[in-house]
Structure 1
Amino acid sequence: MNFSAVAHTYARFPVVLRLFLMVAFLVVTAGVTIHYIEPDTFPTVFEGIWWAIVTASTVGYGDYTPVTNVGRFLAFLVILFGIGVVSFFVTSLASTAITTRNAFKHGELSFKKDGHYVVIGWNERAKNTIAQLQQLNDRLDIVLIDQTMKQCPINNNMIHFIRGNPLEDKTLERANIEKAHTVVITANLHGHEAEADAKSIITLLAIKGLNTNIYSIVELLTPEQKNNCLRAGADEIIETSLLSSLAMVNSTLYHGITKIIYQLLDHQNDHMLLYDEVEKQFVTKTYCDCLLHYEGKSKLIIGLYRKDEVILHPLPTTVIEDGDQFIVIQSGGHTS
């Protein structure tokens, strides 16, 4: 055995773990030793270890007591050990717990899980996005990255806050972006729109450089940057200004239509807009055949999503292809 290598490995352990291993080793050693010194008083190794634990922790139940001078001397050493090392271990454990909690609260703790969702930038849209996702799945792991907040703005243990610049690799690595499922990049509405879009695109480039397979959703404020965003690898672009303008135009022409839009997009309502996978049995059949099959199933088919193309109200004779998805309005509550 290479003791130098073992000592080096041991030295790399966290302080609390090293203290725990030291306590465990000394307690077990003392328990085994007292068993062999006084086999009548401590007939089993377990009873010896039990005595060592209660003695080292200075509890001293008195159910086992050494009767020989050697045994009492060992007890003296265990008591001294308990006053020093065990007390220090408990103090260090409490200190580490507090330090870890503060690091988590202030965004200094790295995220270790995978398959999570990452939201970049703290604002009202990010707040509502996180709230909606958690209502759909309260066990969903969400990482929030922001450099302006001093601590996590949401009091929820399922939200992991990372404080730092999302343009820097070290910040993204702390968020474990390499193993994330989806990233949502929100725009900064407080500065110049073109600069906000440029920052979002650079952030996307940094993310794609670490994880090319992550599904990316980018909020843009100006249409001029849309092509650049697509070149950077955006899977989906949300043009906030365009969506707002279209909603205003439709509200002007058809009063109250935004109520319908909100209801279709809100998955907490009874009716919602979503994709539905086309079953294999419908491939090569017509759109009309699918409509007849879905009647009475609480799903209204309004179109097809085919290879990034939206086909609303296709012709009844349209043939369903492999990979198609139905665009449906579903009633009867949300599905997660």
Structure 2
Amino acid sequence: MSIHTFFQWYFRTPIFLRLLLTVSFFMVFFGMIIHFVEPHVFPTIFDGIWWAVITGSTVGYGDLVPVTIIGKILGVLLIIAGGGLVTFYMATVSASTVRYEQDLSQGKVEYRGEEHIIFVGWNERTKQLIDMIQEFAPNENIVLIDNTLDSISYKQYPIHFIQGNGSEDETLIRANIYKARAAIITSDPNMVEKQADQSSILATVAIRGMNNDIFIISEILTKEQIANAKRAGSDTIVRSNDFMSTLFFHSLYRKGRTHPFDTLVKQLSTQQYKQLEVPTELIGETFLHCSFEFLKQEDLLLGIEQAGELKINPPAKTILQEKDNLIVLSPLRQ
């Protein structure tokens, strides 16, 4: 490696690494010099380096001390040059750490992990889902993409935040879309329904275009946009409006009004949702038959995901196919 190439590499490295190399060079240099100047006091080069590190860092154990004038002059130079470098290095490392934490909270740091889940959009549903994942799958790595947040505390939410638009290539690259295993696209609550669906579909197109193998779940609010979401590349479509409307309807027209609607929510909090592949022995059977089989295990079969579409309480004669997924509600078991 030529001197020119070395200096090019040196000045392209991070500043804290450059300072560490410079400090190390000074310690080794002064350690070798003091060994040759006072070999009787510093019999090995390691002893000289030890003295240089202790002196340059201003610790000063005093176990090895130069006794000649030249040795003492070297000590003075080491304290002036090396001590300043060590102090500057520590200050730089501290400042870099603080700056990195700020960049991490503000979504400026690229994600370099693999097999992670990408969330597009920050809202109450995202918060609840992240809490559920942290409880039941604490080892899952989550990356959040959102352009409405200025910062998010990574200490409060153990996720990696990327500030930006989920439909832009540059943002998806920073989220390491190529190595992600799944993406969940939630609707923007600040937009009207039609615009929110268009935004979700655009994000779906961008994600699918950059990772053909990723599993994509899209939240769609209007029935008219379901076909477009499927064409865009969504594997699963969640229609939250239909689910919430059904809950409101049953709450409004239930026969007995002595029990508050909160009872339903309280009961659901004691259950856990599961998504299972159709057992081999149940392939070709009806949804009704499969429901009875799960009831034997005290599990409730809610619906199926068939051909990328989620069907809650489908017709009893619906035939289960090999690639279907079952949506099951089970009691929390200790």
Q: Indicate whether the TM-score tops 0.5.
A: yes
2:93 corresponding residue in structure 1: 93
Q: Which residue of 2 aligns with 1:31?
A: 31
**Quick one: structure 1 residues 168 and 192, their matched pair in 2 at CA, closer, same or farther if it must change by over 3 Å?**
same
Equivalent position amino acid for 1:14 in 2: P
CA distance in 1, matches of 2:332, 2:157: 30
What residue is the counterpart of 2:107 in the other structure?
Answer: 107
Aligned-residue offset at 1:307: 5.9
251-260 or 145-154, which deviates more: 251-260
- The correspondence of residues 1-336 of structure 1 with structure 2, limited to 5 A, is 1-152=1-152, 155-156=155-156, 158-252=158-252, 254=254, 269=270, 271-277=271-277, 282=281, 299=299, 328-333=328-333
Taking a change above 3 Å as real, the CA distance of residues 53 and 101 of structure 1, as seen in their structure-2 partners, is same
Query: Using a 3 Å threshold, how does the CA distance of structure 1 residues 123 and 273 change in structure 2: closer, same or farther?
Result: closer
Return closer, same or farther for 1:284/1:193 CA change in 2, 3 Å cut-off.
Answer: closer
CA distance in 1, matches of 2:188, 2:230: 19
SS of residue matched to 1:110: coil
Aligned pair in 2 of structure 1 residues 97, 322: CA closer, same or farther (>3 Å)? same
Residue 139 (structure 1) shift: 3.4
The AA in structure 2 aligned to 1:19 is L
Q: CA RMSD in A?
A: 3.4
Q: 1:263 to 1:117 in 2, by over 3 A?
A: farther
**What is the rounded CA distance, in whole Å, between the counterparts of 2:323 and 2:115 in structure 1?**
24
Query: 1:293 & 1:47 partners in 2: Cα distance?
Result: 76
Is residue 237–residue 308 contact of structure 2 (8 Å, CA) maintained in 1? Answer: no
Task: String of CA shifts for 1:58-98, please: whole Å, max 9, x gaps.
Answer: 22221110122332232222112123222211111111111
Structure 1 gap ranges (5+):
none
Q: Is the 8 A contact 2:154 2:160 kept in 1?
A: no
Judging changes above 3 Å, is the alpha-carbon distance between structure 1 residues 279 and 202 closer, same or farther for their aligned structure 2 residues?
A: closer
Q: Which letter maps to 1:73?
A: I
Distance of 1:29 and 1:121 partners within structure 2: 54
Q: 2:61 is paired with a residue of what secondary structure?
A: coil
Q: What is the alpha-carbon distance in structure 1 between the residues aligned to residue 292 and residue 223 of structure 2? A: 40
Cα distance in structure 2, aligned partners of 1:71 and 1:122: 63
**Cα deviation digits, residues 159-218 of structure 1 (max 9, x gap):** 222222223222222222222222111112333211111111111112222222221111
Deviation at 1:296, TM superposition (A): 7.0
C-alpha distance in structure 1 between counterparts of 2:63 and 2:172, whole Å: 56
1:299–1:330 Cα contact (<8 Å) kept = yes
C-alpha distance in structure 2 between counterparts of 1:304 and 1:83, whole Å? 68
Is the alpha carbon distance of 1:239 and 1:276 closer, same or farther for their aligned partners in structure 2, counting shifts above 3 Å?
A: closer
**Deviation sequence 1:2-27 (CA, Å, 0-9, x none):** 33222212211011111011111221
Note the residue ranges of structure 2 that are not aligned, 5 or more in a row. none
User: Matches of 2:107 and 2:303 in 1, distance apart?
Assistant: 44
CA distance in 1, matches of 2:292, 2:213: 38
Normalising by structure 2, we get a TM-score of: 0.82
Identity of aligned residues (%): 34
Give the direction of change, closer, same or farther, for the CA distance of 1:191–1:130 in structure 2 (3 Å limit).
Answer: same
Query: SS state of the match for residue 43, structure 2?
Result: coil
Once the two structures are TM-superposed, the CA of residue 284 in structure 1 deviates from its matched residue by 8.0
Q: Which segment drifts farther, 218-227 or 105-114?
A: 105-114
Amino acid at match of 1:161: F
Q: Deviations over 1:229-263 (max 9, x none)?
A: 11110111111211112223344454679779757
Alignment-mate amino acid for residue 247 of structure 1: L
* Change in CA separation of 1:250 and 1:175 when aligned onto 2, cut-off 3 Å: same
In the superposition, the TM-score normalised over structure 1's length comes to 0.82
